[in-house]
Structure 1
């Protein structure tokens, strides 16, 4: 055995049925797409959300946290590259820890954004009561505490990693889908303020919001749908088949890190080509 950057190098066994390592070209492709498209977009959204929070816009807190999760995940690239390309034996736990920040933090804070929109559209009075910065900071603190706990539990194997991810995906995806569908249902109904004079402007705003929410639903189904189906089929299919499907789902999920920041930039009118 040799030593790579202070890590114990493992012999590379291609297409090992007992390995959780997907093909290297899939890893390289997913990391490259996320680095080229996702990291710059997320850094830009992070900067925009910080500026909005400085101006007192409390609604940007969950956007900030969701973007911070994506940026933090990019810091794991050094461990991912060492583990998958140099077979570093000491990088596995670090990769799992930072990876769980993404797998638990991304759906959690994206769901918080959808729940916030749900209350803003369907329960405006409750939304106004909870609009203060302190409530969102408290929710964010609870969220990050839950993320750290999930990372620790996954590392020490107190909970089974696949079962833990499946439960989290089902809960957050279900809440996200429900809130988005309810908002869409509300948007297609004429509101009390949709008078004839402002009808065109209101309709344009509704159409814009409708399209964005549809894209959120579509991206969520493409990101989490295959992963949920694969995790459920784990109890039915052979291990080799499951690992191949799960590897593809993970790579696709990593590549989709640019979708949400692009949707945010489109919503705030900062996307230059759209």
Structure 2
């Protein structure tokens, strides 16, 4: 790894995120993480987009109008954001071998763009599943044009929020914004999971026989989706908390920082895997 002369004098005030990238063994851990991302996540994202394109083509070739579910739409947009994050990781990996401040800044900001957008799409997916189970009448009314309009506005807000966070990203405000967003998401997702669990335990009147079994299965799938998202958010919050504690108590937390990237991998996997499970593309999960 080489550090060019124009930037070597700036090493004294490089943020800890940067110092970790140009020191061992944290640089090796991060490189391994980057390779794993491309080998594991990139094929997964391509498959999601491929299946989405197939569905779109089928809808255009048939005369019956089929509305794409809100959950699938959230998955498509999150995958698009994750591809931006992979580009940011690529820039950061380049910095490990040849340090350049501009490339590093671009890589960090693209990574932050995905980081915040990821959490927002987790929240939207949980709220959508909550409405489907707890307020089914309202949810059905939102499957039409009004619901699609609200969904598209929500998605647009997520993209704008992520762009704003990317532009304002610095190491000093990252932890504050991260914990605020994580805390908000945990409150929303926990409320959704408890509400769905209450409905699942107490089925409503009129749900009898085979219809009740079908409705209960739909509720269970919604509950499992929310619990999976809650699990990855709790893991992310726990890891961020541990890293913050070590950051305040220790000067060199580089190994822990790069290990944190590994523990956040499930957060990038959960929505694409749930989409592929709904699409029946996971052979190991078929009944």
Report if TM-score (shorter chain) is over 0.5.
yes
Q: Is the 8 A contact 1:2 1:9 kept in 2?
A: no
Residue 116 in 1 paired to residue 131 in 2?
no
Q: Is the 8 A contact 2:239 2:263 kept in 1?
A: no
- Gaps in structure 1 of 5+ consecutive residues: none
Q: Normalised by the size of structure 1, how large is the TM-score?
A: 0.81
After the TM superposition, which residues 93-242 of structure 1 pair with which residues of structure 2 at under 5 Å, given as runs?
A: 93-131=105-143, 132-154=147-169, 160-231=173-244, 233=245, 236-241=248-253
Q: Is the 8 A contact 2:133 2:196 kept in 1?
A: yes
- Gaps in structure 2 of 5+ consecutive residues: 60-65
Residue among 62, 80, 95 paired with 2:92: 80
- State the partner residue of 1:47: 50
* Per-residue CA distance 1:240-274 (angstroms, 9 max, x = gap): 24x44333212322465233311221233221222
- State the partner residue of 2:268: 257
- State the partner residue of 2:62: none
How many angstroms apart in 2 are the aligned matches of 1:49 and 1:203? 27
CA pair 145-201 structure 1, distance change in 2 beyond 3 A:
closer
CA pair 234-169 structure 1, distance change in 2 beyond 3 A:
farther
CA pair 203-95 structure 1, distance change in 2 beyond 3 A:
same
Cα RMSD (Å) = 3.2
Deviation at 1:46, TM superposition (A): 2.6
How many angstroms apart in 1 are the aligned matches of 2:229 and 2:177? 24
* Per-residue CA distance 1:168-201 (angstroms, 9 max, x = gap): 2222233223223322332232233431244444
Deviation at 1:129, TM superposition (A): 3.8
- State the partner residue of 1:30: 33
CA pair 198-122 structure 1, distance change in 2 beyond 3 A:
closer
Deviates more, 1:264-273 or 1:102-111: 264-273
More helix by share: 2
